A and B are shown apart, each in its own frame.
Chain A
Amino acid sequence: MSGEAEALREPWASLRRQREAASFGMWLFLGSEALLFGGLILAFSVNRLLHPDAFAGAGHETNVVYGTVNTVVLLTSSLAMAVGAEAARAGLRELALLGLSLTLALAVAFLVIKGFEWSADIDEGLFPGQAFKLAPPAAGIFFAFYWFMTGLHGLHVTAGISVIAWITWQAWRGERPLESPAFEAAALYWHLVDIVWVFLYPLLYLGGRS
């Protein structure tokens, strides 16, 4: 029970209410994030409608192997995060730490794979500019969006890693009680990072291959 008392913060009278607030607040923030990526995907879609052939051709140049492996990695990390957050709530310390650590490992793996992919892309001349190998302008726009979307998503992955690493570290050292609502809130955020990728993957990797 001391864990519950420790997890309770001002101005809340009960942990149940505080937990509700943490999830609710995170959902509101996810709504905000949805508009961020929604606007971006809308801008991409408009350009895709304007230049269907060029976008299909440019999409064919993306590296579908890296992309698909990364999709699997990220989806699995979301599963691990769900296990970690639920285990924390149930008070299962070992399982919670295992789930959280696995999430972190997979998230870092995602970024590493992404780094290899970006590096290969640059070598192949897929960064818009002097060395760009495709015919501008529309293919350039596709790759502008490719770099921006994967970059912004990568920033979100990095932010997620920081938050999860921080609360995992605290939980591991016993400074953060497992009853803390932070695990659930972090899990919600991590699932958003996952869902955004579920939209980006078909738009960027599969669009040119249908």
Chain B
Amino acid sequence: MSDIAAGQPVPGEAHPRQGLRGGPSYLTAEHGLAAWFLTTDHKRIALLYAAALTVFFFIGGAGAVAIRMELFTPAADLLSADGYNRMFTLHGTVMVWFFLVPSIPNTFGNFLLPLMIGAKDLAFPRLNLFSWYLFVGAGALLVGALVAGGVDTGWTFYTPFSTGYSQSYVMAAALAVVLAGFSSIATGVNFIATVHLLRTPGMTWFRLPLLVWALYGTSLVIVLATPVLTLVLLLIVAERAFGLPIFDPALGGDPLLFQHLFWFYSHPAVYIMILPSFGVISELVTCFSRRQVFGYTFMVYAILWIAVVGFLVWGHHMFVSGQSLFASLVFSFLSFVIAVPSAIKVFNWTFTLYRGQITFEAPMLYALGFIGLFTLGGLTGLFLASVPIDVHVTDTYFVVAHFHFIMVGGAVSAFYGGLHFWWPKVTGRLYPEAWARFAAVLMFFGFSFTFFPQFVMGFLGMPRRYQVYPPEFQIWHVLSSSGAVLLAAAYLLPMGYLAWSLIWGERAGEDPWQATGLEWRTSSPPPRDNFRAVPVVDTGPYFYHPDKEGPRHDRREAHQNQGHET
């Protein structure tokens, strides 16, 4: 640890505020099952979501384990071709809709959004609880479909296979995803209304922490994109159940229409998955480099830019579908356009590090890993946005590697980083730092080991979604499957020591990281109503050093929390 590590007393720092503020913590305020399952407290609902998401993470992970085990050798060893299809469909549907889309918004977003803007709760607390029940109901329906025999269409439900040929439980899975979409929309509406109407006095739009901005942008995309997914899945159900000819070319329908509508949702959905992690990473990087976020306003504009332009790039999934070359070129251009704000964010994180007083606590290690992996994932996205390269690598492991770099190397790393960062706030306990650093480094290497070989074999021509392959690809698959073992260990390890810390962990103070957000000026864990007195804000976020000068290189400035009490 360097001599400027967090936790050392800093000259001029106010006495740390200890003790209970505003009554017993939200965890102990009420007891009994009903107090959890009928709660309208956003913090308890966040924990309910966390529990459900953990279950789905294991189910989706089981699909990944089956895939990587099968691919260890070129022959079909464990699974039939049909069984393999069902496994990657299970992995994709569960991970996309039941883990990644709700992961950061419904856990950290639910927990932190009201705290960060100084509110008592979300705008519609009962809607929030309702969305959890919808989500769990949808998950139960999906798991039911998977247990009954599974789905073999892939998470993309492409027609006409999904409407006319698949013999699996497509309708149940599609309806489960529709229900999960309703739950997403409810959360999105709730977040937008909360940010508009429940900011504490003085919390102007351009004083909002970047995580709040990221969740706001995400919610906009959720509210406007998800209904199109609902529509397209209902159309599939109508065609399968009632024989209404809409997509089936044998009946005169147009399967490309499905792809257009599907990707009109599913490309913005990528931003639903990654925008919240941008917010998390911004919070982590600024805190552990003791430096104001570089270019705060541009970070905000980048989020909004991504949210808007994300709706205009769906055609880059369809370069080989027969869409006109002109359309492909327009979508290609727009896909390059949307890379700009992502690049702005990466540069701004890097500039935030520049001349910062960086310490390497576990959340920061996850954040730094995120920046590296996201950059690689983003740059390979530009490869795929170029029509000629995309034609070469469409439906190969290159694509698989690209989106796993964004969604797993990016979004899941950010989830774990945020989990460590806010763990003291959520539970009131500190996690064991040495173990956490080990897990963070292990995740970076395990991830790279798993997915970097997939770029290589994809470029060499290994197609996705096959369980048998020519022997020359075996070396890459063995690398990938071996890395997946490390990656699995890196995911399981934190579950162990975080659970350990619940009982034996050191008690956390209000502000263990000396961070500036409003969530750090209440007790850990917070009381039911979040704050004893409503905090008032008169500065922007991230006040780690005086406005006009950078931090001194040799000692830490006293940080100043964004709020104060009246």
Partners in one complex: yes
Interface residues of A (CB under 8 A from B): 10-11, 17, 20-21, 24-25, 28-29, 31-33, 35-36, 39-40, 43, 46-47, 50, 128-129, 136-138, 140-141, 143-145, 147-148, 151-152
- Expressed in whole angstroms, the minimum distance between the Cβ of B196 and any Cβ of chain A is 7
Looking at the complex, which of B54-62, B120-128, B514-522 is the stretch in contact with chain A? B120-128
Q: How far is the CA of A36 from the CA of B227 in the complex (A)?
A: 5
**Does B32 make an interface contact (CB < 8 A)?**
no
Inter-subunit contact A11/B261 (CB<8 Å) = no
Inter-subunit contact A39/B231 (CB<8 Å) = yes
> Which of B125, B243, B252 is packed against the most chain A CB atoms within 10 Å?
B252
> Which of B127, B234, B246, B254 is packed against the most chain A CB atoms within 10 Å?
B246
Inter-subunit contact A25/B125 (CB<8 Å) = no
Considering the complex of A and B, which 4 residue pairs feature the smallest CB-CB distances, nearest first? A137-B252, A36-B227, A144-B244, A11-B120
Looking at the complex, which of B137-145, B187-195, B291-299, B347-355 is the stretch in contact with chain A? B187-195
- Expressed in whole angstroms, the minimum distance between the Cβ of B398 and any Cβ of chain A is 30
Q: How far is the CA of A129 from the CA of B239 in the complex (A)?
A: 11
- Expressed in whole angstroms, the minimum distance between the Cβ of B95 and any Cβ of chain A is 24
Q: How far is the CA of A10 from the CA of B198 in the complex (A)?
A: 12
Inter-subunit contact B193/A43 (CB<8 Å) = no
Nearest-neighbor residue (CB-CB) of A139 within chain B:
B252
**Does B230 make an interface contact (CB < 8 A)?**
yes
Q: How far is the CA of A46 from the CA of B188 in the complex (A)?
A: 30
Q: How far is the CA of A60 from the CA of B245 in the complex (A)?
A: 19
Note all chain B residues with C-beta closer than 8 A to A36.
Answer: 227-228, 230-231
User: With A10-B40, A29-B185, A40-B231 known to touch, is A148 a contact of B225 (CB < 8 Å)?
Assistant: no
Nearest-neighbor residue (CB-CB) of B235 within chain A:
A148
Inter-subunit contact B226/A32 (CB<8 Å) = yes
Q: Could you list 22 A-B pairs, sorted by A, with CB under 8 Å?
A: A11-B123, A28-B188, A28-B192, A28-B193, A28-B223, A31-B223, A32-B188, A36-B227, A36-B230, A39-B231, A39-B261, A43-B261, A137-B245, A137-B251, A144-B238, A144-B244, A144-B245, A144-B253, A147-B242, A148-B234, A148-B235, A152-B234
Inter-subunit contact B243/A129 (CB<8 Å) = yes
Inter-subunit contact B244/A17 (CB<8 Å) = no
User: With A141-B253, A148-B238 known to touch, is A17 a contact of B197 (CB < 8 Å)?
Assistant: yes
A28 partner, pick from B189, B228, B238, B257, beta carbons under 8 A: B189
Q: How far is the CA of A31 from the CA of B222 in the complex (A)?
A: 11
Inter-subunit contact B197/A141 (CB<8 Å) = no
**Does B119 make an interface contact (CB < 8 A)?**
yes
**Does B330 make an interface contact (CB < 8 A)?**
no
Note all chain A residues with C-beta closer than 8 A to B251.
Answer: 128, 136-137, 140-141
Note all chain B residues with C-beta closer than 8 A to A46.
Answer: 254, 257
Note all chain B residues with C-beta closer than 8 A to A39.
Answer: 227-228, 231-232, 261, 264
B125 partner, pick from A11, A28, A43, A147, beta carbons under 8 A: A11
Q: How far is the CA of A46 from the CA of B246 in the complex (A)?
A: 12
Nearest-neighbor residue (CB-CB) of B534 within chain A:
A13
Note all chain A residues with C-beta closer than 8 A to B245.
Answer: 128, 136-137, 140-141, 144
Interface residues on B, range: 35 or more
Q: How far is the CA of A140 from the CA of B227 in the complex (A)?
A: 25
Nearest-neighbor residue (CB-CB) of B239 within chain A:
A144
- Expressed in whole angstroms, the minimum distance between the Cβ of B204 and any Cβ of chain A is 18
**Does B489 make an interface contact (CB < 8 A)?**
no
User: With A39-B231, A46-B257, A140-B251 known to touch, is A31 a contact of B193 (CB < 8 Å)?
Assistant: no
Note all chain A residues with C-beta closer than 8 A to B246.
Answer: 43, 141, 144-145, 148
Inter-subunit contact A47/B226 (CB<8 Å) = no
Inter-subunit contact A32/B257 (CB<8 Å) = no
Inter-subunit contact B197/A31 (CB<8 Å) = no
Note all chain A residues with C-beta closer than 8 A to B196.
Answer: 24
Q: How far is the CA of A137 from the CA of B250 in the complex (A)?
A: 9
**Does B224 make an interface contact (CB < 8 A)?**
yes
Q: How far is the CA of A148 from the CA of B253 in the complex (A)?
A: 14
Inter-subunit contact A32/B119 (CB<8 Å) = no
A32 partner, pick from B125, B127, B227, beta carbons under 8 A: B227
In residues 246-280 of chain B, which contact A (Cβ within 8 Å)?
Answer: 246, 251-254, 257, 261, 264
Nearest-neighbor residue (CB-CB) of A33 within chain B:
B227
Note all chain A residues with C-beta closer than 8 A to B224.
Answer: 31-32, 35
Inter-subunit contact B193/A24 (CB<8 Å) = yes
Note all chain B residues with C-beta closer than 8 A to A11.
Answer: 114, 119-123, 125, 198
Note all chain B residues with C-beta closer than 8 A to A128.
Answer: 243-245, 251
Note all chain A residues with C-beta closer than 8 A to B124.
Answer: 21, 25
Q: How far is the CA of A31 from the CA of B238 in the complex (A)?
A: 24
Nearest-neighbor residue (CB-CB) of A22 within chain B:
B124
Q: How far is the CA of A143 from the CA of B231 in the complex (A)?
A: 17
Note all chain B residues with C-beta closer than 8 A to A28.
Answer: 188-189, 192-193, 223
Q: How far is the CA of A32 from the CA of B190 in the complex (A)?
A: 13
Q: How far is the CA of A58 from the CA of B535 in the complex (A)?
A: 63
> Which of B124, B245, B251 is packed against the most chain A CB atoms within 10 Å?
B245
**Given A29-B223, A36-B231, 20 other A-B residues pairs in contact with their CB atoms under 8 A:** A11-B121, A11-B123, A21-B193, A24-B196, A24-B197, A25-B123, A25-B127, A28-B188, A32-B224, A36-B227, A39-B228, A39-B261, A43-B261, A128-B244, A129-B243, A143-B244, A144-B238, A144-B245, A144-B246, A148-B235
Note all chain B residues with C-beta closer than 8 A to A140.
Answer: 245, 251-252
Note all chain A residues with C-beta closer than 8 A to B185.
Answer: 29, 32
Nearest-neighbor residue (CB-CB) of A20 within chain B:
B197
Interface bits B113-153 vs A (CB < 8 Å: 1, else 0): 01000011111110100000000000000000000000000
Note all chain A residues with C-beta closer than 8 A to B235.
Answer: 43, 148
Nearest-neighbor residue (CB-CB) of B238 within chain A:
A148
Q: How far is the CA of A28 from the CA of B127 in the complex (A)?
A: 14
Nearest-neighbor residue (CB-CB) of B252 within chain A:
A137
Interface bits B381-404 vs A (CB < 8 Å: 1, else 0): 000000000000000000000000
Q: How far is the CA of A57 from the CA of B253 in the complex (A)?
A: 18
> Which of A39, A50, A147 is packed against the most chain B CB atoms within 10 Å?
A39
Note all chain B residues with C-beta closer than 8 A to A33.
Answer: 227
Q: How far is the CA of A36 from the CA of B234 in the complex (A)?
A: 11
Note all chain B residues with C-beta closer than 8 A to A29.
Answer: 185, 189, 223
Q: How far is the CA of A137 from the CA of B223 in the complex (A)?
A: 35
Q: How far is the CA of A32 from the CA of B120 in the complex (A)?
A: 27
Inter-subunit contact A21/B228 (CB<8 Å) = no
Note all chain B residues with C-beta closer than 8 A to A47.
Answer: 254, 257
Note all chain A residues with C-beta closer than 8 A to B190.
Answer: 25
- Expressed in whole angstroms, the minimum distance between the Cβ of A90 and any Cβ of chain B is 24
Q: How far is the CA of A33 from the CA of B246 in the complex (A)?
A: 21
User: With A28-B189, A128-B243, A147-B244 known to touch, is A35 a contact of B228 (CB < 8 Å)?
Assistant: yes
Q: How far is the CA of A40 from the CA of B198 in the complex (A)?
A: 35
Note all chain B residues with C-beta closer than 8 A to A24.
Answer: 193, 196-197
Note all chain B residues with C-beta closer than 8 A to A32.
Answer: 185, 188-189, 223-224, 226-227
Nearest-neighbor residue (CB-CB) of B114 within chain A:
A11
